[in-house]
Structure 1
Amino acid sequence: MSHFKQIQANMIRTGLITHINYLFYFNVEQPNVYVWNTIIKEYCKSKFPKVSVFLFHQMVRENFEMNKQTFVYAIKACELVKGGVRVGEELHCRICKVGFDSELLIRNVLMHLYGKHGCLSSARNLFDESLTRDVFTWTTMIDCYAQKQFPGKALKLFCLMLRSGVEPNEVTMVAVLSACCILGNLSLGRLIHGYIEKNDLECSLNLLNALMDLYVKCGCLTTAREIFDMMERRDVYSWTIMTDGHAKQGELELARQFFDGLPEKNVVSWNAMIAGYSQKNKPKEALALFHQMEETSLRPVEGTLVCVLSSCAQLGSLDLGKKIYHYYVDQKRVQPSVILANAYIDMCAKCGSIDAAIQLFNGMPKKDLVSWNSMINGYAVHGYAGQALDLFRQMQSSGLRPDDITLVGVLSACCHGGLVIQGREYFENMRGVFGIEPNTKHYACMIDLLGRVGMLDDAFELIKRMPMEPDEAAWGALLNASKMYGNIDLGKFASVKLLELTPNDSGTYALLANMFAAKRRWDDVGMVRSMMRARGVKKTPGLSSIEVDGKTHEFLVEDKSHPQFREMYKLLDDILLLLYLEGYVPQPP
């Protein structure tokens, strides 16, 4: 028997057991329930749970008598099969018919099946009908609620569990901490942590990871680090939680230290670091890390590619973004999805390829609100106001309700198209028609719209009527309009407000100085430059970039670092000469 177990262990390790079991079943003349159960269990544990379901149905067809374990293994197989809840319901009926419905173990696994497939009412009915409930019964139902984003119900059930006198275990506490994470309730999380320590619950690796995850997601990295430092054993999730926490807080150097310290990296680890770089406007670092990931055996997932396409959009790397999307999504290395299509549309629009964005948008079999928003905003920034508003009307006809981002795109389109009447109408209808409270972005769009067409008094009145404090976008739009139409007094007022919000923004000083220079008020220009020196503000040098054959080239003002700079400057001189011949007169700096 010891030799047989060694052979069996080797067969399980190599996967050969899944082939041998079925052969073994066919060669047994009269297989008993133990043989059936063994085969069903082994296929359930393998990559072929559908075979377990098939074998169970074969037992039914042959009228073979089943025991409790048969139903348990068959239900677990249903959990792993797409659409398995329907088969599970059939199993549930048969369980009731043969009289196993009072078995607590069977009720628990049925609850888990229903919960995993989102049938929470069926799971709760089983829970409420249970005459006896053990720790697994309570934990299963709590976990069902937590996994399906009903944290309040999960925590309420946990309180009932404590009142019933059933002691929770570590799995219960992991589910409860998950509910606290969803709520983002740090105070409640600390109470749960205190309960764990007070009752001397065994702090397994999973439970410590759950505690760390709670503190990280609630922004308390100090406590998370204390737990991390005291852990006797850590796994890839322990390191990844800390990497993700620091990355989301913008502490990219610390995040990278944890990432580099990972003894083994998984897709989640790479995603956390790539997302951190992308979301903190470090697209070069995000793409460099993505290329490192490509050199491993790991394949990127949807979340990875969304961050990568966002990084391409930030850099204006259209060719690279198209190449990545084609290689992974078009060629089905990663499952196509609406989210990935949305990221691609956004990338193409921001990189100037509005035609590519339109082509993908029109070919999408299914669109969500983000799809419509991305395309409306894409049209708006390219100056296609009419197309943006037409698309907005199509979106409404499709039955989708706009959100605040949709209206930003609509007002931006009106702004770029100079459509004052339409812009005012949409803005005034936001509350009554669309049920959306205007925020600072909507006000900034309207101020920009009014300012661009010279209605400076109306723009100033609107900024004074804002129910919230105007932000830099609103004052910046007013300052830009004041410069455009030479309104020095209004420009000075707007610049003072803007410098209160962003005292180190060199762009504000430059805009103010240019406004004075246009009116030849050189003393005021000197005053602005003196303010910059006194405050230690340095003008950010102008930078342009262009992508050629998938490589991005950047150029600063009077840059001579590029090997072909002489040919470039000669071409620019030729262009400037043609402009002069057409009557171009440069404005003073």
Structure 2
Amino acid sequence: MKKLLLLVPRKQKSSLYYQHLHLQHRKTLSYSSQPKWNSKTNVVITHPTLLILESCSSMRQLKQIQARMTLTALITHTFPLSRLLAFCALSDIGDIRHAHLLFRRFHHPNTFMWNTMIRGYRKAQFPTISFSFFLHMLRQGVPFDCRTFVFALKACERFPRASEGESVHCVVTKIGFRFELLVRNGLLHFYADRGWLEHAREVFDEMSHRDVVTWTTIIDGYASRDYPDEALGLFSLMLGSDVEPNEVTFIAVLSACSQKGDIGMGRYIHENVEKKNMRCSLSLRNALLDMYVKCGSLVAARELFDRMETRDVFSWTSMVNGYAKCGDLESARWFFDQTAHKNVVCWSAMIAGYSQNNKPKESLKLFHEMVAAGMVPGEHALVSMLSACGQLSYLDLGHWIHQYFVNGKRLSLNVTLENAIIDMYAKCGSIDAAAEVFGTMPERNLVSWNSMIAGYAANGRAKQAIKAFDQMIQMGFKPDGITFVSLLTACSHGGLISEGQEYFDTMERNYGIKPKKEHYACMIDLLGRTGLLEEAYKLITNMPMQPCEAAWGALLNACRMHGNIELATLSAHNLLSLDPEDSGIYVLLANICANERKWGDVKRVRSLMRNKGVKKVPGHSLIEIDGEFSEFLVAEESHPQSEEIYKVLDEIFLLSKLENRDCDYELVFNG
């Protein structure tokens, strides 16, 4: 380590000055919440002024020190000036403009000073100026070192294009730095950070020597771009090398395990960390917790959570997310309520849990609590809210979310959020509004097309669904199983037998999609709705897999439409074997028998239902009045205005009877 010996001034008043400055500095620290400036240097500093500079805590104090350095001519030396420059450019409480003024004092700044300015302007969010210093170095022939390229590449990460970074790569090759490990790691990070994984892999493969930074950077590059197989493959190669993974490596690998659901590799990492008594930070424990949750191992996640000495909001949110996704909303809510300092992610996880588990009203209630708590909802919370609005047909609220957050520019729009808006409008019956959003989308993915086709299908617009499908194929999108469920549903609702049969037959032949239970159910529904009950029954008996509830349910509904009691009884028997507690099956079968005046069969069905202890789920409806939603159950009187409501209903009933009687008189008279 180099040692710099700077003589202390001999005058007594200078000594008093240092004592005064020390006292002033201590007072500043006692009142300031800013941390000390912990700059790095390989030089042992003994000069009192420079020692004070190393623990400077404000620009005001820095200027006092600079004034003293000017009076004592200390500022004319390269090292003291470089320390002033580093504080101004790199400290969190520095001033890059003042750093620029200091930089201009020197006619021939050295490489360290140039590097400091490149790094400083990049830190101050001025990448263009940062990169311009690199270009000036190149034009003026200033000697580069490895850090010059690393700092220049960091500045290039802020540019929308990659041309500047590629130009740095060219300079690296041209002047002979291509084999320097620090520079190669900088290039690797630049390409991986931008998602240019092919270029990153080329740089990685060309490296004859690799350290832990090299391996971690390439593994994290693939993991952060949702390429878990490549990330885990590289980790396996790393284990066969002579480089030991560190904590950051493990966090990147655990992210890949979470994406792929590879709990085996995740457990391997956990066991290695504990076996080697490796220092396990909160970040690593949270990564392990997240891996167990996303791999569906809640028991292991809970064990790890309980053993964690320190937890943060991420730890609690992982547990909320895990229990919510597996449908255990009670446990999820317990963890949510226990979270001390909830952030937007925590709120969003619980809101999504309710929405995804068919609890839309709870989701809406929690959303209102979130907004009341002063939280600004992000994309994930709004997507869940739009889904809840779709489930409840809350068009006004869904439209308000669209207008306030999206059209009001309070949240940046992306394809995921636009897809949720389309789905909400379609489920609320406002298919034209959905089509309008779809038509103005700057970017669409397969989910966008599927949402639009499903929307058309659900709203009885079969021809438009087919047209959207044709446009999707022309645009180069490859359909998936969900696409064909929506398409076959559209054909079923539109009575398009030949088209539906054609799509069903070409699924596997043209697109490599093997029909699943839901596709067979759609075809059975299509055949049944159009009266082809025998063909529907033949298809259900020839399915290559066990028929599901949807298939038998579609056939039972078709029997109701066309009055086939024999086939209805058979369908209901199969349905009850799959779900004996579903009261709707009994009710539907009883109604079919009643329509055909088979009162003995009706009695038998009701007796069977009574004997098994199955109770009919009461019908209910929702109504919105001035933004408030009220739920009404059959024959219930809990509503505060129930007396007035039933009075109006009685009047409507009497008026309808009078209307029917008038119609009867008119028919008799005309007859």
TM over 0.5: yes
Q: Does 1:60 align with 2:60?
A: no
Give the structure 2 partner of residue 567 of structure 1. Answer: 648
How many angstroms does 1:313 deviate by? 0.4
- What's the CA shift for 1:530? 2.4
Single out whichever of 24-33 and 438-447 deviates more from structure 2: 24-33
SS of the residue 2:624 aligns to:
strand
Runs of 4+ residues deviating >6 angstroms: 9-14
SS in 2 for 1:265: coil
Q: Does 1:7 align with 2:84?
A: no
Once the two structures are TM-superposed, the CA of residue 473 in structure 1 deviates from its matched residue by 0.8
Q: Does 1:455 align with 2:536?
A: no
Question: 1: CA distance between counterparts of 2:338 and 2:410?
Answer: 29
Structure 2: gaps of 5 or more residues: 1-49, 61-87, 665-671
Q: How far 1:276 moved relative to its partner?
A: 0.9
| Residue 205 of structure 2 is aligned to residue 155 of structure 1 | no
Structure 1 position 514 matched with structure 2 position 595: no
Query: What letter is aligned with 2:272?
Result: Y
- 2 CA distance for matches of 1:546 and 1:520? 35
Does the aligned pair in 1 maintain the 2:59–2:94 contact within 8 Å?
no
Distance 1:567 1:449 in 2: 41
Secondary structure of 1:325 counterpart: helix
CA distance in 1, matches of 2:439, 2:410: 23
- Of 287, 307, 315 in structure 2, the residue corresponding to residue 230 of structure 1 is 307
> Could you give the per-residue CA deviations for residues 491-522 of structure 1, whole angstroms, max 9, x where no partner exists?
11111110111111111111011122223333
Distance of 1:247 and 1:15 partners within structure 2: 43
CA shift for structure 1 position 580:
6.7
Identify the residue that residue 174 of structure 2 maps to in structure 1: 97
| DSSP 3-state at the match of 2:509 | coil
Tell me the CA shift for residue 198 of structure 1. 2.3
Of residues 364, 383, 386 in structure 2, which corresponds to 1:306? Answer: 383
Q: 1:24 to 1:330 in 2, by over 3 A?
A: farther
- Within the candidate set 429, 432, 457, 2:506 is matched to 429
Q: Distance in 2 between matches of 1:504 and 1:9?
A: 74
Residues 315-324 or 225-234, more deviating: 225-234
Report the Cα distance in structure 1 between the residues aligned to 2:654 and 2:511, rounded to whole angstroms: 52
On the 8 A contact 1:451/1:482 being kept in 2, the answer is yes
- Check the 8 A contact 1:284/1:311 in 2, yes or no: yes
- Go from structure 1 to structure 2 and tell me whether the alpha carbon gap of 1:579 and 1:225 turns closer, same or farther (over 3 Å shift): farther
- Aligned equivalent of 2:488: 411
The separation in 1 between residues aligned to 2:656 and 2:137, in whole angstroms, is 83
Is residue 58–residue 94 contact of structure 2 (8 Å, CA) maintained in 1? no
**Alpha carbons 1:319, 1:549 under 8 Å: kept:** no
Q: Does the Cα contact within 8 Å between 1:275 and 1:286 map onto a contact in 2?
A: yes
Say what the alpha-carbon RMSD is for the aligned residues.
2.5
Please report how far the alpha carbon of residue 219 of structure 1 lies from its aligned counterpart in structure 2 after TM superposition: 0.9
Deviation at 1:322, TM superposition (A): 0.7
Contact 2:351–2:363 (Cα < 8 Å) also in 1: yes
Q: Is the 8 A contact 1:318 1:547 kept in 2?
A: no
Higher relative contact order (CA 8 A, sep 6+): 1
Identify the residue that residue 7 of structure 2 maps to in structure 1: none
Counterparts of 1:488-499 in structure 2 under 5 Å?
Answer: 488-499=565-576
* Distance in 2 between residues matched to 1:471 and 1:258, nearest whole Å: 36
- What secondary structure does 1:469 align onto? coil
- 1:44 maps to 122
Contact 2:57/2:93 (8 A) holds in 1: no
Q: Alpha-carbon deviation of 1:537? A: 1.5
Q: Can you list the C-alpha shifts for 1:246-296, whole angstroms capped at 9, x where unaligned?
A: 111111121122222223223322221111111001112212222233234
Q: 1:348 maps to what in 2?
A: 425
Alignment partner, residue 41 of structure 2 = none
Tell me which residue corresponds to 1:587: none
Paired residue secondary structure (1:467)? coil
Identify the residue that residue 487 of structure 1 maps to in structure 2: 564
Which is greater in Rg? 2
**1:177 to 2:254 alignment:** yes
Change (3 A) 1:309 1:28: farther
User: Which of the numbers 241, 255, 259 marks the counterpart of 2:318?
Assistant: 241
Find 2:363's aligned residue among 259, 269, 286: 286
Q: How far does the alpha carbon of each residue in 1:299-342 deviate from its partner, in whole angstroms, 9 at most, with x for none?
A: 32222211110011011110100101111111221111222222
SS, match of residue 399 in structure 1: coil
1:114 paired with 2:191, answer yes
User: What amino acid sits opposite 1:214 in the alignment?
Assistant: M
Q: Does 1:335 align with 2:412?
A: yes
Asked if 1:531 corresponds to 2:612, the answer is no
Q: What is the aligned partner in structure 2 of residue 77 from structure 1?
A: 155
- On the 8 A contact 1:154/1:179 being kept in 2, the answer is yes
Structure 2 residue matching 1:421: 3-state secondary structure: helix
CA distance in 2, matches of 1:367, 1:302: 17
For the Cα contact (< 8 Å) 2:150–2:183, is it kept in 1? yes
- In the aligned structure 2, how far is the partner of 1:554 from the partner of 1:348? 22
Cα distance change on mapping 1:222 and 1:13 into 2, 3 Å: farther
The answer on whether the counterparts of 1:169 and 1:201 sit within 8 Å (CA) in structure 2 is no
1:251 aligned to 328, 333, 347, which one?
328
Change (3 A) 1:498 1:205: same
> How far did residue 103 of structure 1 move?
1.9
1:209 to 286, 310, 314: 286
C-alpha distance 358-574 of structure 1, shift in aligned 2 (>3 A): farther
- Structure 1, gaps ≥5 residues long: 584-589
Task: Please point out which of 615, 618, 630 is paired with 1:553.
Answer: 630
Tell me how far apart the structure 1 counterparts of residues 318 and 104 of structure 2 sit (CA, whole Å). 48
Q: CA deviation at 1:201?
A: 2.2
- Aligned residue in 2 for 1:586: none
Match of 1:130 among 193, 201, 207: 207
Read off the aligned partner of 2:565 and give its amino acid letter.
Answer: I
Deviation at 1:576, TM superposition (A): 6.3
Counterpart AA for 1:515: I
Cα displacement string for residues 367-403 of structure 1 (whole angstroms, at most 9, x for unaligned residues): 3222222222212222122222222222223332322
Comparing 415-424 with 486-495, which one deviates more in the overlay?
415-424
Count of matched residue positions in the alignment of Structure 1 and Structure 2: 582
Does the 8 Å contact 2:192/2:221 carry over to 1? yes
* 1:325 and 2:375 aligned: no
Residues 147, 506 of structure 1: CA spacing in aligned structure 2 closer, same or farther, 3 A cutoff?
same
Instruction: Answer with 225-234 or 544-553: which moved more.
Output: 544-553
The residue type equivalent to 1:351 in the other structure is C
Task: Give the deviation of 1:50 after TM superposition.
Answer: 4.5
The DSSP-based 3-state class of the residue aligned with 2:460 is coil
Q: Could you state the TM-score of these two structures normalised by the residue count of structure 1?
A: 0.92
Distance 2:569 2:381 in 1: 45
The answer on whether the counterparts of 2:118 and 2:152 sit within 8 Å (CA) in structure 1 is: yes
Percent identity between matched residues is: 51
The one-letter code sitting in structure 1 at the alignment partner of 2:540 is I
Paired residue secondary structure (1:56): helix
Q: Partner letter of residue 91 of structure 1?
A: V
